[in-house]
Protein backbone atom coordinates (compact mmCIF):
# COMPACT_ATOMS: atom_id res chain seq x y z
CA UNK A 1 0.00 0.00 0.00
CA UNK A 2 1.27 3.50 -0.83
CA UNK A 3 1.33 5.41 2.43
CA UNK A 4 1.32 8.88 0.87
CA UNK A 5 -2.12 8.12 -0.53
CA UNK A 6 -3.31 7.07 2.92
CA UNK A 7 -1.81 10.26 4.39
CA UNK A 8 -3.69 12.37 1.86
CA UNK A 9 -6.96 10.60 2.64
CA UNK A 10 -6.35 11.00 6.36
CA UNK A 11 -5.70 14.72 5.97
CA UNK A 12 -8.71 15.25 3.73
CA UNK A 13 -11.03 13.40 6.09
CA UNK A 14 -9.29 14.58 9.27
CA UNK A 15 -8.58 11.01 10.39
CA UNK A 16 -6.12 10.07 13.11
CA UNK A 17 -3.94 6.97 13.29
CA UNK A 18 -6.51 5.58 15.73
CA UNK A 19 -9.30 6.12 13.17
CA UNK A 20 -7.30 4.26 10.52
CA UNK A 21 -6.53 1.45 12.95
CA UNK A 22 -10.20 1.11 13.77
CA UNK A 23 -11.18 1.11 10.08
CA UNK A 24 -8.58 -1.57 9.32
CA UNK A 25 -9.36 -3.50 12.53
CA UNK A 26 -5.71 -3.45 13.59
CA UNK A 27 -3.77 -1.86 16.42
CA UNK A 28 -2.62 1.75 16.45
CA UNK A 29 0.90 0.38 16.81
CA UNK A 30 0.52 -1.38 13.45
CA UNK A 31 -0.50 1.89 11.79
CA UNK A 32 2.44 3.66 13.42
CA UNK A 33 4.69 0.91 12.07
CA UNK A 34 3.33 1.54 8.54
CA UNK A 35 4.36 5.18 8.81
CA UNK A 36 7.81 4.32 10.19
CA UNK A 37 8.39 1.80 7.38
CA UNK A 38 7.26 4.35 4.81
CA UNK A 39 10.15 6.64 5.75
CA UNK A 40 12.40 4.34 3.70
CA UNK A 41 9.95 3.63 0.91
CA UNK A 42 6.46 4.96 0.26
CA UNK A 43 5.17 1.40 -0.30
CA UNK A 44 4.39 -0.81 2.70
CA UNK A 45 3.29 -4.43 2.53
CA UNK A 46 -0.11 -4.84 4.13
CA UNK A 47 -2.15 -8.01 4.37
CA UNK A 48 -4.81 -8.17 1.69
CA UNK A 49 -7.61 -8.65 4.19
CA UNK A 50 -6.45 -5.55 6.10
CA UNK A 51 -6.28 -3.47 2.93
CA UNK A 52 -9.74 -4.62 1.85
CA UNK A 53 -11.22 -3.91 5.29
CA UNK A 54 -9.64 -0.45 5.40
CA UNK A 55 -10.94 0.41 1.93
CA UNK A 56 -14.42 -0.92 2.71
CA UNK A 57 -14.71 0.99 5.98
CA UNK A 58 -13.42 4.19 4.35
CA UNK A 59 -15.78 3.58 1.42
CA UNK A 60 -12.95 3.57 -1.11
CA UNK A 61 -11.93 1.34 -3.97
CA UNK A 62 -9.02 -0.78 -2.61
CA UNK A 63 -7.05 -0.11 -5.78
CA UNK A 64 -6.59 3.51 -4.73
CA UNK A 65 -3.99 2.34 -2.21
CA UNK A 66 -2.11 0.34 -4.83
CA UNK A 67 -1.53 3.05 -7.40
CA UNK A 68 1.61 5.07 -6.97
CA UNK A 69 0.84 8.73 -6.41
CA UNK A 70 2.14 11.07 -9.05
CA UNK A 71 4.75 13.53 -7.86
CA UNK A 72 2.69 16.48 -6.73
CA UNK A 73 5.23 19.16 -7.51
CA UNK A 74 4.22 19.07 -11.18
CA UNK A 75 0.63 20.01 -10.26
CA UNK A 76 1.44 22.91 -7.94
CA UNK A 77 1.46 25.40 -10.78
CA UNK A 78 -1.85 24.09 -12.08
CA UNK A 79 -3.81 23.71 -8.85
CA UNK A 80 -2.14 25.72 -6.10
CA UNK A 81 -0.89 28.71 -8.07
CA UNK A 82 -2.71 31.39 -6.07
CA UNK A 83 -2.26 30.11 -2.53
CA UNK A 84 -5.99 29.54 -2.06
CA UNK A 85 -5.10 26.04 -0.84
CA UNK A 86 -2.03 25.60 1.33
CA UNK A 87 -1.19 22.10 0.07
CA UNK A 88 -2.63 19.18 -1.85
CA UNK A 89 -4.23 17.70 1.21
CA UNK A 90 -6.26 20.87 1.78
CA UNK A 91 -7.18 20.96 -1.92
CA UNK A 92 -8.29 17.32 -1.78
CA UNK A 93 -10.29 18.05 1.37
CA UNK A 94 -12.01 20.91 -0.45
CA UNK A 95 -12.82 18.58 -3.35
CA UNK A 96 -14.32 16.01 -1.00
CA UNK A 97 -16.50 18.73 0.50
CA UNK A 98 -17.40 19.81 -3.06
CA UNK A 99 -16.09 23.30 -2.40
CA UNK A 100 -17.16 25.15 -5.54
CA UNK A 101 -13.80 26.84 -6.12
CA UNK A 102 -11.92 23.55 -5.82
CA UNK A 103 -14.34 21.73 -8.11
CA UNK A 104 -14.14 24.53 -10.68
CA UNK A 105 -10.36 24.42 -10.60
CA UNK A 106 -10.33 20.64 -10.92
CA UNK A 107 -12.66 20.74 -13.93
CA UNK A 108 -10.64 23.56 -15.47
CA UNK A 109 -7.40 21.59 -15.23
CA UNK A 110 -8.54 18.02 -15.84
CA UNK A 111 -11.81 18.32 -17.76
CA UNK A 112 -15.22 16.74 -17.35
CA UNK A 113 -14.23 13.11 -17.91
CA UNK A 114 -11.72 12.96 -15.07
CA UNK A 115 -13.83 15.17 -12.81
CA UNK A 116 -16.84 12.90 -13.24
CA UNK A 117 -14.76 9.73 -12.82
CA UNK A 118 -13.16 10.99 -9.62
CA UNK A 119 -15.84 13.20 -8.04
CA UNK A 120 -19.06 11.82 -9.52
CA UNK A 121 -21.79 13.06 -11.81
CA UNK A 122 -22.75 15.85 -9.42
CA UNK A 123 -19.73 17.89 -10.60
CA UNK A 124 -21.24 17.96 -14.07
CA UNK A 125 -24.52 19.14 -12.57
CA UNK A 126 -22.64 21.89 -10.67
CA UNK A 127 -20.98 23.28 -13.80
CA UNK A 128 -23.57 25.99 -14.57
CA UNK A 129 -23.15 27.27 -11.01
CA UNK A 130 -19.34 27.28 -11.06
CA UNK A 131 -18.61 28.16 -14.70
CA UNK A 132 -17.86 31.77 -13.77
CA UNK A 133 -14.96 30.54 -11.60
CA UNK A 134 -13.19 28.99 -14.61
CA UNK A 135 -10.76 30.79 -16.89
CA UNK A 136 -12.80 32.35 -19.75
CA UNK A 137 -11.00 30.53 -22.58
CA UNK A 138 -11.30 27.17 -20.85
CA UNK A 139 -14.88 27.94 -19.80
CA UNK A 140 -15.83 28.45 -23.45
CA UNK A 141 -14.42 25.00 -24.35
CA UNK A 142 -16.20 23.36 -21.44
CA UNK A 143 -19.52 25.05 -22.25
CA UNK A 144 -19.40 23.35 -25.64
CA UNK A 145 -18.79 19.94 -24.03
CA UNK A 146 -21.12 20.34 -21.06
CA UNK A 147 -24.36 19.31 -22.86
CA UNK A 148 -22.74 16.02 -23.85
CA UNK A 149 -21.72 15.20 -20.29
CA UNK A 150 -24.93 16.46 -18.68
CA UNK A 151 -27.10 14.30 -20.94
CA UNK A 152 -24.86 11.22 -20.68
CA UNK A 153 -25.70 9.83 -17.25
Q: Using alpha carbons only, what angle is made at residue 25 by residues 90 and 64, rounded to the nearest 5 degrees?
A: 45
Tell if the pTM clears 0.75, that is, is over it. no
Cβ distance 46 to 61 under 8 Å? no
- pLDDT category at 25 given cuts 50, 70, 90 is very high
Question: How do residues 115-131 score in pLDDT, each as one tens digit?
Answer: 998 888 888 999 999 99
Q: If you classify domain 3-66 with CATH, what class do you get? A: mainly alpha
Q: Per-domain residue ranges for the chain?
A: 3-66, 72-151
Question: How do residues 63-94 score in pLDDT, each as one tens digit?
Answer: 989 987 666 667 778 888 888 988 877 888 88
pLDDT given at position 62: 92
Amino acid sequence: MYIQILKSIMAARELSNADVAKAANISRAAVTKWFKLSERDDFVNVETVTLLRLAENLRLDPQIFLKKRLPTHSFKTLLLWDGLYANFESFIHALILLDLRAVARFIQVFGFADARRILGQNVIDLFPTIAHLINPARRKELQILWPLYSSNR
